[in-house]
Copies of this chain bind each other. A is one copy, B any other.
Amino acid sequence: MTFNYKDIRKDFPILDQKVNNRPWIYFDNAATSQRPLVVVEKIHEFSLQTNANIHRGTHFHAIKTTEAYENARDIVKEFLHAKEREEIIFTHGTTESINLVARSFCERFLSEGDEIIVTEMEHHANIVPWQMACERHHAKLKVLPFADNGNLETDLLESLISSRTKILAIAHVSNTLGTVNPIKEIIRIAHNHNIPVLVDGAQSVPHITIDVQDLDCDFFAFSGHKIYGPTGIGVLYGKRAWLDKMPPFLGGGEMIDKVTFEKTTFNELPHKFEAGTPHYVGAIGLGSAIEYIRKIGLENIAAYEHQLLTYASDKMKELGGMKFFGESPNKTGVICFQLDQIHPFDLGTLLDQLGIAVRTGRLCADPVMDHYEVTAMTRASFSFYNTMEEIDRFIDSLIRIQKMF
């Protein structure tokens, strides 16, 4: 085995602490991941040694910072297997990436009476921007549903598509159901109708190797903080053909070519979409996070996380009164569940008391709550730094809590 979690734990000293007098167990990875020491140290070191605003600088630190920032772009480009570095836009997170497209793409390509397709399992970040765009442009939002087991009803896609469909936006992996959607197939179907596809990769990049050219997606969005990187940084990949045609999103420094009050012309990609001083420290941290996981190997990570998922699912099933939301055979290490009649808020509070962090609530996915007719869920989500022993303690804690009600 190429994967030794004991070594891995050393990379994440933050995990080595007590919460409520018990060793901390962090099962809230789908909300945000922990950052390995190399990333924290990289940011620290950089912050102590190098700092200047980037681009157009003629001095040493400006050049060094610019190089570090642009080097991070190259790392992301390799990571996503994009064709050109100019197709990698640094944003502040998945949410901003999607909003960028929902504003700029729709401003150019969405007209009254047009349609946008999303799925029923989307995170709010991949619903609300499109709803807002539809409202601005008097267009219509259509929804591809999922089945109770958590699988998308891909068969229905053709029937949702019309000559007015302008874009399809879909999560690669659902943040509640864990389902890995067959996006390659979906992209193929959409492309048959000349419909571009935006993939929300927030929950897939930490677990699945991405090749945007092979997927042939038109846009791909993800967040740094979910992939062991810093907060406040994210990525939008977009095919040059689309990005070139879209009007800019934010106006400001760096994204312009020449400003006069009569007429402003815009800079080339990627700068056109990077207005203002970028979060260069964040980009550099993200680059170092990607290098870290490439060293571990995403296949190794995925394989181990699958073991965690299977082990946890099996053990949880053995408890009576366990209901799972999302049981696709093809899913990542995310388990949404309901135990007996215990309210998720109670369960989360008590698990926390026992040192275990899970997420409870509506998980930014109201339509998924509505689908199952529940007001809230409990979600345990695993990462490759979690262990089988932690799952054992999680199960024991569930048993203990079950008895309290």
Contact = CB atoms under 8 A, between A and B. Distances in A.
A280 B31 CA distance: 13
Interface of A: 13-14, 17, 19-20, 24, 26, 28, 31-32, 34-35, 40, 43-44, 47-53, 56-62, 92-96, 98-99, 102-103, 107, 123-125, 127-132, 136, 141, 143, 223, 225, 230-233, 247-248, 250-256, 258-261, 264, 275-282, 345, 348-349, 351-352, 356-362, 364, 366-367, 370
A353 to B, nearest CB: 9
Nearest to A60: B19
Contact of A32 (B51, B124, B248): B51
A99 B58 contact: no
B231 A102 contact: no
A59 B358 contact: yes
| Residue among A26, A43, A259, A349 having the largest count of chain B Cβ atoms under 10 Å | A259
A360 B31 CA distance: 42
A95 B255 CA distance: 11
A232 B53 CA distance: 12
Contacts of A96: 92, 250, 275-276
Nearest to A280: B231
A303 to B, nearest CB: 26
7 contacts: A28-B62, A92-B276, A93-B276, A99-B252, A127-B261, A231-B282, A259-B367
Contact of A92 (B60, B232, B247): B232
| Residue among A31, A60, A276 having the largest count of chain B Cβ atoms under 10 Å | A276
A8 to B, nearest CB: 17
A92 to B, nearest CB: 5
A368 B25 CA distance: 56
B124 A253 contact: yes
Contact of A252 (B28, B125, B143, B277): B125
B60 A34 contact: no
Contacts of A230: 281
B357 A252 contact: no
A37 to B, nearest CB: 8
B276 A58 contact: no
A50 to B, nearest CB: 8
Q: Ordered nearest first, which 7 A-B pairs have the shortest CB separation?
A: A232-B279, A95-B276, A128-B251, A58-B348, A125-B252, A95-B252, A31-B53
A275 B125 contact: yes
A352 B28 contact: no
B367 A141 contact: no
A57 to B, nearest CB: 7
Given A28-B59, A53-B225, A127-B251, 10 more contacts: A13-B48, A40-B47, A56-B361, A60-B352, A102-B251, A124-B251, A125-B252, A223-B277, A231-B278, A279-B282
A185 to B, nearest CB: 23
Nearest to A258: B366
Contact of A367 (B48, B49, B254, B260): B260
A215 B128 CA distance: 35
Contacts of A141: 261
A3 to B, nearest CB: 23
B59 A34 contact: no
B60 A357 contact: yes
A251 B248 CA distance: 18
Given A256-B128, A357-B60, A277 B28 contact: no
Contacts of A366: 256, 258-260
Contacts of A61: 19, 24, 26, 357
Nearest to A98: B252
| Residue among A17, A107, A231, A349 having the largest count of chain B Cβ atoms under 10 Å | A231
Contacts of A356: 59
Contacts of A264: 127-128, 131
Nearest to A127: B259
